[in-house]
Structure 1
Amino acid sequence: MDKPIIFDQVRDSLTIEYLNTRYKLDSETPSISPKMVVIHHTVIPTFEKSFKAFNNPLLPNSRPEIAGAGNLNVSSHFMVDRDGTIYRLMPETKMARHVIGLNHCSIGIENVGGTKETPLTKKQLNSNIKLVKYLASKYPIEYVIGHYQYTLFENTPLWLEVDDNYRTPKNDPDEQFLKGILNKTTHFNFKPVPVQKESNTN
């Protein structure tokens, strides 16, 4: 179901600014070429409240930990409600601010909930599987990752974040949920996530 967040001239301009300042991409449009799907959970119990968190183009004052990277609000391309309903919040080839360093090449899928009180559901898992299959059939998707894995892409060609200190800890979604998606999409031969090299402590 299409349920678009506000993507007006303000959000359009802020998105272009983000691409230029955070990634040094000389972009005139907020467009991306998807190569990755990133799975998230909202830690918000309802779709209505999760949607509201993304709808405004401007980042709210409640997110000071990421405010230094720009005024563009966070968002995702899709949101999956707890009953499995898939909502498309914005065009798949416009940039959403959902993962540090990789927004320029990734499609975000948010799942409502993800807390101990609101664990992700089997219906959500099935919808994520269907959605990943749809996206991988439409775009040259190379990776499907959990948000918690994003820093593994540092020092790879896909990583473009200019600030070495701009990172936030993530644990979404749970590992079993991600494995459930990957186990049902093996025929796409997605690439494994990069292996982070251990630092030399000698």
Structure 2
Amino acid sequence: MRTHGWSGATPADDDEAVERILTAARHAIDRSGSEFSVAEVARDLGVTRQTVYRYFPSADALLTATAVAQTAHFLDVLAEHLNDIRDPATAVVEGIAYTLERLPHEKYLNLLLGPGRAGAFTAGVTSDTALAFGRSLLQRFSVDWAAAGISGPQLDQLVEHMLRIVQSFVIDPGRPPRRGEDLRAYLTTWVAPALTGTDLPPV
């Protein structure tokens, strides 16, 4: 870890440096929205842009990492919302629907999944960052995935499938946009059957 700058208070290690960069990025996003700059973050930290780029290769990468770090609140709210649902198909349908409904109201979730500058994430639903977020989402469900016969690569593919569905609704919500019971009925018809069969295909 380089020790130059940091306004005279050098981080103890790389983990602390990353934490401080993410905190500065969050403050910059709060001020400037998704159009914040790495120069703005570096200035707040008292370091050069090159120092920030050492940990995050681009402004979009920093935006995505900051948004992911700030979605813990949403994941907690989602877990509470789904707390009483044990059926895998019902949980997936409600998880997708609730995520789409909360998207306009959750600032950092919207930065992560919504259109715009963070669209690099939206366009890359198979990226490690996207899949890690999706796994975090599924882990909040009150579903015994192993008992349902879904584990390992199958669980990873379920994460990918859910992210692809969310992506499609973000890009084109429908005409008119599906909401509420209409959205849930659509997902129940076309998504739930993949999880209600007794034998899922091996992967």
TM-score (norm 1): 0.25
TM-score (norm 2): 0.25
**Structure (1 or 2) with the greater strand fraction:** 1
| Pair member with larger Rg | 2
Higher relative contact order (CA 8 A, sep 6+): 1
